[in-house]
């Protein structure tokens, strides 16, 4: 595997993972859960269904690329490519949203 993420793309993966965790946390205040769910929905709308699964598994649940590849019956390179493309797309989205 040869792909790398820029700091901005890595931050996008962390934000996606954070929103995923907040959206799942029933113990949080309702407004924070709703905000996280809205942000997660907006992020997911940018991605293909396959990329949503990859992001949920890797950024949201902490699975490795190898785990996702094994469980999905696909190559690690395919999963890595989907993850990197998703992070790039999300980085652009989050930067545009912050502006």
pLDDT at residue 2, as a whole number: 60
Total-model pTM? 0.89
Residue 73: HSE in the Cβ half-sphere, 13 Å Cα cutoff? 0
Rounded alpha-carbon distances, angstroms, from residue 80 to 2, 11, 12, 23: 9, 17, 15, 25
Domain positions in the chain are 7-98
Query: CA geometry: angle at 95 spanning 92 and 96, to 5°?
Result: 85
Which pLDDT score is estimated for 28? 74
- 12: closest CA among 55, 51, 64, 48? 55
Q: Which residues of the chain have pLDDT under 70?
A: 1-2
The span from the CA of 23 to the CA of 33, in Å, is: 5
How crowded is the C-beta side of 80, counted as CA atoms within 13 Å?
Answer: 9
């Amino acid at each position: 595997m040869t792909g790398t993420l820029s700091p901005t793309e890595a931050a996008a993966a962390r934000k996606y993972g954070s929103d995923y965790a907040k959206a799942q946390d029933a113990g949080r205040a309702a407004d924070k859960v709703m905000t996280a769910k809205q942000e997660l929905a907006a992020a997911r709308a940018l991605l293909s269904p396959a990329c949503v699964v990859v992001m949920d598994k890797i950024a949201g649940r902490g699975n490795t690329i190898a785990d996702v590849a094994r469980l999905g019956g696909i190559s690690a390179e395919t999963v890595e490519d989907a993850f990197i493309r998703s992070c790039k797309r999300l980085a652009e989205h989050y930067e545009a949203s912050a502006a």
